[in-house]
């Protein structure tokens, strides 16, 4: 569904800094950033599953062996009306997401810890 592109670089970077401190007190600051590309195979990918046509035959409680009529392939027609027509824009671009996060973790004493994060 998407044109082939070769420049989709998806870098990711993360950093962490631990603050020096007094005994029984620690603090760590973490952060990250990344670019992510979608695989492009969501509901739009189903558009190709009906090409050029689709035929299904369901036989409920069929006797065995099947009769010649039940064993025959279902007829495939291209005459309208069709049940589903899915079309994609030729100029779609691959979905891209920018993600960032930051977190501060504190430890004070033996029994107190606090973590604050934003994504």
Query: Do the domain assignments include residue 3?
Result: no
Query: Do the domain assignments include residue 20?
Result: yes
Query: Do the domain assignments include residue 87?
Result: yes
Which residue(s) pair with 14 in the sheet? Answer: 32
Percent of the chain at pLDDT exceeding 90: 29
Percent of the chain at pLDDT exceeding 70: 73
Q: Tell me the C-alpha distance between 71 and 32, whole Å.
A: 59
Residue ranges making up the domain that contains 66: 12-118
State the DSSP code for 73.
P
Query: Do the domain assignments include residue 63?
Result: yes
User: pLDDT-based confidence at 118, cuts 50/70/90?
Assistant: very high
Query: Do the domain assignments include residue 29?
Result: yes
User: pLDDT-based confidence at 83, cuts 50/70/90?
Assistant: low
Q: Tell me the C-alpha distance between 16 and 115, whole Å.
A: 14
pTM: 0.55
Q: Tell me the C-alpha distance between 105 and 103, whole Å.
A: 7
Split into its structural domains, the chain has a count of 1
Query: Do the domain assignments include residue 19?
Result: yes
Tokens of 9: 């670089």
């Amino acid at each position: 569904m998407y044109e082939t592109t070769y420049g989709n670089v998806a870098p990711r970077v993360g950093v962490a800094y631990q603050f020096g401190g007094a005994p029984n007190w620690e603090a760590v600051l973490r952060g990250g950033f990344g670019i992510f590309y979608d695989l492009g195979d969501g509901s739009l990918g189903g558009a190709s599953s009906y090409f050029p046509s689709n035929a299904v035959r369901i036989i409920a409680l069929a006797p065995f062996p099947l009769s010649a009529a039940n064993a025959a392939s279902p007829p495939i027609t291209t005459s309208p009306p069709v049940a589903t027509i899915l079309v994609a824009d030729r100029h779609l671009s691959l979905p891209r997401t920018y993600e960032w996060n930051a977190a501060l973790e504190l430890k004070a004493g033996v029994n107190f810890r606090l973590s604050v994060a934003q994504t």
